Amino acid sequence: MLGTPEVSVIVCFYNQAWVAPLIFSALEQQITEVSYEVLLCDDGSDDSFSELAKSWAESAKIDVRIIWQPHRGFRAARSRNNGIRCARGEILAFLDGDTWVTSRFIDEHWSAHANARRLVCGSRSDLFLDTPVLRDDLGAQLAREAVVTDCAELAYKNQWLGSGRPWMACTSGNFSISREPALFFDEGFVGWGSEDRDLAIRLWRAGCEVVVLPRPNAVHIQEPSRPKIGNSSELISHLRGKLLLRDKYPAGEMKFSLEMVKYCHFDPELNGWFEDEAPSHATVDEILDEFKRWCILTGFSEYS
């Protein structure tokens, strides 16, 4: 599209070549009069995804740019910041690379910004796949899943919206915001989770109104789960993010976001951290304090 786009869609990818064609197609087939660009923020994917993204960027009928950074762990915060710095739109919409969107995604986010200074939270249904292989009927199934009336994430977000912690309604998989001075993720968060909660509370404190779109407009496509192993880089990074979140908000603003650490435990015999199916009887502070001590002893973080 010619001229300056009104919306910049920032999509964070890492090695999601298996689902990327569906995501790309959905972004290209938006039904809207709003001009938009797509920024593919690549967190250091391998050649299979890189070639696929390059091919689409060259052939797409919309404005597509690729912003790449070397892979040094799960650095979604930095990757999204790369997109923010390069975006030209008035409204910035954020997606994860495994999130398919409906044809009204752009229009619905754009319309929700009729009032200035809004943090607009979209919702996603979930589609769990048995194998990371795209079936011929998957596109039709995604369209059905996207309009479910009992979307758990939508109910969850509306519950937070009516609480004293509306920022908890914002997750990085589907939200939009107009340009704000506070609109940068804290790149100290490495690994899955926490960086979106931190951004949302800062935007809310800066005066942004949090709103939730009235219906889901995306589907989170989930791969088969992988075996859980001790001291996996994903788990350690996740715990470090929760530790940073607690340290940044010691008054308890992120209490509910920290609850997930109760599904982690330390095994002294194996000297490792593991994920559990059920929550621990230990408190969040006890687990995070133990993790911090372990970091100091093993040199796994800045606490060493």
- b/e sequence 132-164, b meaning 16+ C-beta within 10 Å: eeeeeebeeebeebbeeeebebbeebeebbeee
pLDDT score recorded for residue 136: 60
Q: Residue 132 — pLDDT band, cuts 50, 70, 90?
A: low
With a cut of 90, say whether residue 186 has pLDDT above it: yes
What strand order describes the sheet that includes 99-101? 99-101, 218-222, 124-128
Q: What is the mean pLDDT of residues 21-32?
A: 92
Average pLDDT (167-194) is: 88
Mean pLDDT score, 231-235 = 76
CB atoms within 10 A of CB 130: 7
Cα–Cα distance list, 207 to 8, 145, 169 (Å): 22, 34, 16
Under 8 Å between Cβ of 261 and 242 = yes
* Most confident region among 15-29, 40-54, 63-77, 83-97 by mean pLDDT: 83-97
Residue 133 pLDDT > 60, yes or no? no
Residue 39 burial (CB count, 10 A): 24
Cα distance between residue 111 and residue 114, in whole Å: 6
pLDDT digits (tens, 9 = 90+) for 143-180: 666 666 678 899 999 999 989 999 999 998 899 999 88
pLDDT class of 107 with cuts at 50, 70, 90:
very high
Looking at residues 39-45, what average pLDDT do you find?
A: 87
Q: What is the CA radius of gyration of the chain?
A: 19
Token pair of 215, please?
């219906």
Tell me: pLDDT of 1 over 50: no
Whether 223 shows a pLDDT value over 80: the answer reads no
Instruction: Calculate mean pLDDT across residues 281-292.
Output: 95
pTM: 0.89
Task: Compute the distance between CA of residue 146 and CA of residue 125 in angstroms, rounded to an integer.
Answer: 6
Mean pLDDT of 58-68: 92
